[in-house]
Amino acid sequence: MSTHDTEINSDATRLLGLEGVSVIKVKDDGAGGSTVYVVTSEDSARACPSCGVFATRLKDYRTTAPRHLSCGGRPMGIRWRKARWHCTEVACPRGSFTESIRQVPARMRTTKALRRAAGAAVCDGSRTVVQAGRDLHLSWPIVQHCFEEYAAKALPEQPQATEAIGIDETRRGKPVWKQNPDTEKWELVADAWHIGFVDAIGGRGLFGQVEGRNATSVTDWLMAQPAAWRAQVRYVAIDLCSTFRAAIHRALPHAAVVVDCFHIVQLAQRHLADLRRRLTWKQHGRRARKGDGIYTVRKLLRRNKEDLDQDQLAVLKSELEYMGTYGRQIHAAWQAKELLRDLLSLAVTRTHLAPDHSAISAARYRFHAHIADHAHLPELLVLAETVEQWWTGIETYLTTGITNAASEGNNRLIKLEARNAFGFRNRANQRLRSRCATTRRSRREAHPH
């Protein structure tokens, strides 16, 4: 072989990127791809897998075709001519063996680089298993196995330390029931509800998920974490769920519950809508329809006061005044919602310092005084009672500014992952894919290369 041919083969070997073999020639396969012929170049391939003694007696040759990544956008087939050796060690039970390298272990038909690329495509590249298999010409079971191996190394075994976590539930799919042959009763096998635990302030995504929607599921997951990790958690952000609050007091007695501000405003909007519907039926005996004053302003009632211009405020006030007593009651409910929003706007932000207790007390007094002036409206009384029941969590939000927005964002990513996969039948695979999707950004920032 000439010196020029040797250099060409060395360049081809580096381009192949398969450590342990050397390229001897490359041919066009006639179908738009290339066939690469390689031989073993790693001395350790001659070591017996059982005893580790280097073999010296050649038995014969075998040619295999392990699948590898494409090169230069062209499909590539490998033909590896590897030797079979006799093990001359007397005490070794193995009579002979075939050469193997780290990139292509014994009995493997794919290279580690290809398997890693398949796992990374699903875990880090936001591809589905079907799409990754189609791009890399692998079957669904192989890609799924590669993904599980890659995720086991990429995802941390234990949740990272944080001062604040968020807890929220999401529903995907339908519950699975199975009849017990002994009792002939239907038992829940797989719950459609999943509870997610996320990093509320660090942006590290989903720490874990459990099936169910009860305090036991939350408590069991929290108690299963290391004691040092639980001790560092100072705040837990939740929505207005008494079940979660009871579980937090049981598993994290030292942590403060933070009520998410979005759900507080959502609650006020819901009570305002209930009041509007009740009074509309009371006045018209039917739902609001086009031409009614309440129908004209129904969307304005959902808007924030600072988002309405002067003309819209004038329309809102005039239409409700025209309705008479019922309109004034709806306007009072809208004012209560805005007073509650004024209270929540005192929360600390990046540009807004923590409020003093006098400002919080004054805003809280204005809200309850307005409710007291309209105590004949049951919707407002229920709203005020709920605010009082959750006041400790609301006040913690005002002084810390912690929200459960991370949980809501992760739920959106989880549902998007499920839609891309056209749903999941395996719940464990669903939770693994969800965790990979929600931690993808933080893992990229931690390992940019």
Would you state the pLDDT for residue 246? 95
| Residues 33-83 pLDDT 10s | 889 999 998 888 989 988 989 998 999 999 999 999 988 778 889 999 999
| Residues 22-33 pLDDT 10s | 998 888 888 888
Give residue 3's pLDDT band: very low, low, confident or very high (50, 70, 90): very low
In percent, the amount of the chain with pLDDT more than 90 equals 62
Any bridge partners for residue 195, and if so which? 169, 210
Cα–chain-centroid distance for residue 293?
A: 44
Would you state the pLDDT for residue 17? 85
Please state the pTM of the whole predicted model.
0.82
Would you state the pLDDT for residue 448? 64
Would you state the pLDDT for residue 303? 92
Tell me what the mean pLDDT of segment 187-192 comes to: 75
Tell me what the mean pLDDT of segment 316-345 comes to: 93
Q: How far apart are CA 387 and CA 404, in angstroms?
A: 18
Would you state the pLDDT for residue 195? 93
Give residue 449's pLDDT band: very low, low, confident or very high (50, 70, 90): low
Q: Which residue has the higher pLDDT, 311 or 177?
A: 311
The dihedral sign for the CA sequence 294, 298, 300, 305: positive
Would you state the pLDDT for residue 211? 85
Other Cβ atoms within 10 Å of 55 Cβ, number: 20
Structure tokens at 186: 């239907």
Torsion of CA 384, 388, 392, 398, to 10 degrees: 20
Would you state the pLDDT for residue 279? 93
| Residues 132-145 pLDDT 10s | 999 999 999 999 99
